[in-house]
């Protein structure tokens, strides 16, 4: 290990209490996609305090940012933060199930957790900066704020707007969320493409439905209006769209690769009486697929379903893109650099306090406390080639991409590594599956999540330093990048739509009762609090 890396690793250790507190704050904010106002503001202020120049609202997205620090002419390397949480996962940072104090259980909560993703990357960037200053290493660190990852939101927009142009390399870190991607890096099989679109149904003139039936012999326009046939409206359109798409899902691409199609109803109704047609309703469909041809087929079906649903419910329909996110481009040279530094950092280590927390959680669930409660794999490193071999056993031989994440849009602009670090997950008795809240809670408890951030921060910092210092390694990565990109059929960004920030995304609101989730806390929520 060279002197610069020793300095960076020491910085991570010396500043542990600071970044642990920072992470707990972001975890507790738990703001959701496109509405991460306080989380974004915290990062902007922290980066400015650390000497970065920060552009707020990058790409026209209020909760995005682009930060830059330079120590003279040299390579430009980027890392980034995500900070969006997931609605319906509100959880206290403790060993029992309950929403955070005063909130509905339907509020946001960090699941992956993106709080640690962002903090691990920030710690790495700041540690590399400290080493570059101390040892006179020239170069530029770019640090991006990337909102709405759960809908692959910001990165296609940043890519199309040129924010990744001119970079020499990009580092993408994510906490472990599935095997074999634990303490390893992606090799050939990167995440696949993704489309998400909102179908907006509007019923602006419901009175024209069965118009002849609402006039009596004298021509009065609204005789006995409360007893006449009710016009269908936007709610009916969403129900029809939902039902048609559920039915058609079985016929679209059965048993062809690993693809998914999921829906979310963003808003529905807006009627103020039971005999009025709902004027507006929104439903979003998000599809993950191995290739873009499959996405085109899926959305051709969805477009047809939307038109049919609109016609039967007397609505108009418009499609609004939320995301068009590209598949990933591999880079073996970058994977090798990052994995060597992951070996230097070492796998996460869980101390006595983390073990005590894990055992308390097991007892809360009525399980026997295990002496070594964390999964064995969390302490093991997996070479990228071995992770590739293991993942290829799960998917068809023809399939080139697998699972979903929007770091992929970055891979078309500079050589990029995607690496993973283990995060606290527990051993279970045979046949038992832990509830989601248990994993979420561990992501907010310092003794359990800080080891992930420590390893990630050191790996990010050391990889940045290698890319700044080792010109031959950077050249190898860039040559591989150019070769792969030149061989690609469709290297340009796919984003051809404005940032979808003005839709009714779930969010926290300020009321006379203070800050709360848009769905208020109920008696059932309060009963869970201790």
| Residue 103: CB atoms within 10 Å | 24
Q: Provide the 8-state DSSP code for 317.
A: E
Instruction: Report the C-alpha gap between 460 and 173 in whole angstroms.
Output: 8
Q: Over the stretch 406-421, which tens digit does the pLDDT of each residue have? A: 999 999 999 999 999 9
What pLDDT does residue 228 have?
Answer: 61
Q: Which of 324, 350, 372 is the last residue of a domain?
A: 324
Categorize the per-residue pLDDT at 215 as very low, low, confident or very high, splitting at 50, 70 and 90: low
Total tally of structural domains belonging to the chain: 2
Angle at 323 (CA atoms; ends 320, 329), nearest 5 degrees: 155
Least confident of 172-176, 250-254, 335-339: 250-254
Whether 15 and 127 map to the same domain: the answer is yes
Q: Over the stretch 471-488, which tens digit does the pLDDT of each residue have? A: 999 999 999 999 999 999
What pLDDT does residue 28 have?
Answer: 98
Instruction: Report the C-alpha gap between 144 and 155 in whole angstroms.
Output: 10
Alpha helices in 268-351 (DSSP H): 292-312, 332-345
Residue 289 included in any domain? yes
CATH number of the domain residue 49 falls in: 3.40.630.10
Residue 513 included in any domain? no
Q: Provide the 8-state DSSP code for 411.
A: G
Residue 364 has pLDDT above 60, yes or no: yes
Residue 202 included in any domain? yes
What pLDDT does residue 401 have?
Answer: 95
Q: Using an 8 Å Cβ cutoff, are 207 and 214 in contact? A: yes
What pLDDT does residue 274 have?
Answer: 66
Instruction: Report the C-alpha gap between 69 and 53 in whole angstroms.
Output: 6
Sign of the four-CA dihedral 341, 65, 452, 326? negative
Query: Is 299 in a helix, a strand, or coil?
Result: helix
Residue 465 has pLDDT above 80, yes or no: yes
Whether 199 and 103 map to the same domain: the answer is no
Categorize the per-residue pLDDT at 524 as very low, low, confident or very high, splitting at 50, 70 and 90: confident
Instruction: Report the C-alpha gap between 7 and 134 in whole angstroms.
Output: 8
List the one residue out of 230, 233, 209, 232 whose CA is nearest residue 281.
Answer: 233
Name, in order, each residue with C-beta under 8 angstroms of 365's C-beta and a sequence gap of 6 or more.
434, 435, 438
Average pLDDT, the chain: 93
What is the β-pairing status of strands 184-185 and 416-421?
antiparallel
Whether 11 and 153 map to the same domain: the answer is yes
Instruction: Report the C-alpha gap between 91 and 212 in whole angstroms.
Output: 54
Residue 218 has pLDDT above 60, yes or no: no
Residue 526 has pLDDT above 90, yes or no: no
Residue 499 included in any domain? no
What pLDDT does residue 253 have?
Answer: 62
What is the β-pairing status of strands 316-325 and 194-202?
antiparallel
Residue 200 in tokens? 């907006």
What pLDDT does residue 268 have?
Answer: 77
Categorize the per-residue pLDDT at 270 as very low, low, confident or very high, splitting at 50, 70 and 90: low
Q: Over the stretch 154-187, which tens digit does the pLDDT of each residue have? A: 999 999 999 999 999 999 999 999 999 999 999 9
Whether 53 and 178 map to the same domain: the answer is yes
CATH number of the domain residue 224 falls in: 3.30.70.360
Whether 114 and 244 map to the same domain: the answer is no
Query: Is 497 in a helix, a strand, or coil?
Result: coil
Q: Over the stretch 279-320, which tens digit does the pLDDT of each residue have? A: 899 999 999 999 999 999 999 999 999 999 999 898 999 999
What pLDDT does residue 233 have?
Answer: 86
Q: Over the stretch 128-161, which tens digit does the pLDDT of each residue have? A: 999 999 999 999 999 999 999 999 999 999 999 9
What pLDDT does residue 342 have?
Answer: 98
Instruction: Report the C-alpha gap between 115 and 459 in whole angstroms.
Output: 17
pTM of the model as a whole: 0.94
Whether 46 and 134 map to the same domain: the answer is yes
Whether 93 and 238 map to the same domain: the answer is no
Q: Which of 450, 471, 487 is the last residue of a domain?
A: 487
Domain that holds residue 233: 195-324
Whether 19 and 147 map to the same domain: the answer is yes
Whether 255 and 369 map to the same domain: the answer is no
Angle at 125 (CA atoms; ends 347, 34), nearest 5 degrees: 100
Categorize the per-residue pLDDT at 97 as very low, low, confident or very high, splitting at 50, 70 and 90: very high
Q: What are phi and psi of 234, to 5 degrees?
A: -65, -35
| Residue 351: CB atoms within 10 Å | 11
Can you give the three-state secondary structure of 324-385, one letter per residue?
Answer: EECCCCCCHHHHHHHHHHHHHHCCCCCCHHHHHHHHHHHHHCCCCCCCCCECHHHHCCCCHH
Q: Which of 324, 354, 379 is the last residue of a domain?
A: 324
Whether 247 and 348 map to the same domain: the answer is no
Whether 102 and 173 map to the same domain: the answer is yes
Residue 221 has pLDDT above 60, yes or no: no
> Above pLDDT 90, what percent of the chain?
83
Give the residue carrying structure tokens 């738990």: 30
Whether 333 and 482 map to the same domain: the answer is yes
Residue 503 included in any domain? no
């Amino acid at each position: 290990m060279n002197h610069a890396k020793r300095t960076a690793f020491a910085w991570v250790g010396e500043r542990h209490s600071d970044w642990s507190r920072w992470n707990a704050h972001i975890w507790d904010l738990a703001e959701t996609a496109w509405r991460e106002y306080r989380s974004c503001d915290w990062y902007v202020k922290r980066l400015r305090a650390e000497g970065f120049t920060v552009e707020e609202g990058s790409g026209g997205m209020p909760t995005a940012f682009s930060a830059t620090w330079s120590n003279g002419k040299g390579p430009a390397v980027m890392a980034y933060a995500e900070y969006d949480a997931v609605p319906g996962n509100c959880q206290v940072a403790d060993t029992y199930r309950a929403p955070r104090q005063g909130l509905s259980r339907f509020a946001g909560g960090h699941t992956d957790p993106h709080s640690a993703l962002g903090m691990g990357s920030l710690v790495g960037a700041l540690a590399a900066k400290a080493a570059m200053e101390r040892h006179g290493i020239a170069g530029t660190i770019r640090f991006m704020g990337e909102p709405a990852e759960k809908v692959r939101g910001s990165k296609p927009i940043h890519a199309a707007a040129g924010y990744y142009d001119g970079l020499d390399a990009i580092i993408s870190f994510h906490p472990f969320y599935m095997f074999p991607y634990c303490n390893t890096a992606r090799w050939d099989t990167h995440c696949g493409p993704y489309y998400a679109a909102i179908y907006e149904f509007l019923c602006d003139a419901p009175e024209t439905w069965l118009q002849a039936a609402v006039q009596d012999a004298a021509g009065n326009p609204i005789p006995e209006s409360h007893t006449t046939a009710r016009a269908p409206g936007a709610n009916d359109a969403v129900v029809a769209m939902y039902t048609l798409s559920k039915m058609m899902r079985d016929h679209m691409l059965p048993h062809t690769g690993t693809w998914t199609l999921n829906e979310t109803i963003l808003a529905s109704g807006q009627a103020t009486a039971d005999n009025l047609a709902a004027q507006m309703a929104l439903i979003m469909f998000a599809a993950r697929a191995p290739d873009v041809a499959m996405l085109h087929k899926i959305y051709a079906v969805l477009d047809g379903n939307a038109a049919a649903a609109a016609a039967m419910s007397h609505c108009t329909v418009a499609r609004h893109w939320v995301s068009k996110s590209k598949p990933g481009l591999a880079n073996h040279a970058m994977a090798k650099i990052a994995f060597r530094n992951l070996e230097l950092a070492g796998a996460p280590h869980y101390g006595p306090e983390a073990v005590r927390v894990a055992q308390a959680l097991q007892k809360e669930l009525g399980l026997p406390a295990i002496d070594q409660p964390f999964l064995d794999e969390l302490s093991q490193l997996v070479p990228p080639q071995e992770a590739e071999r293991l993942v290829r056993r799960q998917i068809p031989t023809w399939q080139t991409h697998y699972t979903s994440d929007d770091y992929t849009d970055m891979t078309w602009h500079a050589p990029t590594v995607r690496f993973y670090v283990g995060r606290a997950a527990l051993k279970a008795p045979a046949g038992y599956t832990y509830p989601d809240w248990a994993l979420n809670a561990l992501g907010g408890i310092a003794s359990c999540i800080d080891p992930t951030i420590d390893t990630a921060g050191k790996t990010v910092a050391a990889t940045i330093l290698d890319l700044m210092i080792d010109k031959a390694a950077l050249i190898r990565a860039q040559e591989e990048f150019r070769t792969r990109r030149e061989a690609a059929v469709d290297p340009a960004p796919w984003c051809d739509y404005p940032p979808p920030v003005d839709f009714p995304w779930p969010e926290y609101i300020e009321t006379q009762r203070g800050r709360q989730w848009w769905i208020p806390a109920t008696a059932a929520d309060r009963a869970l609090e201790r």
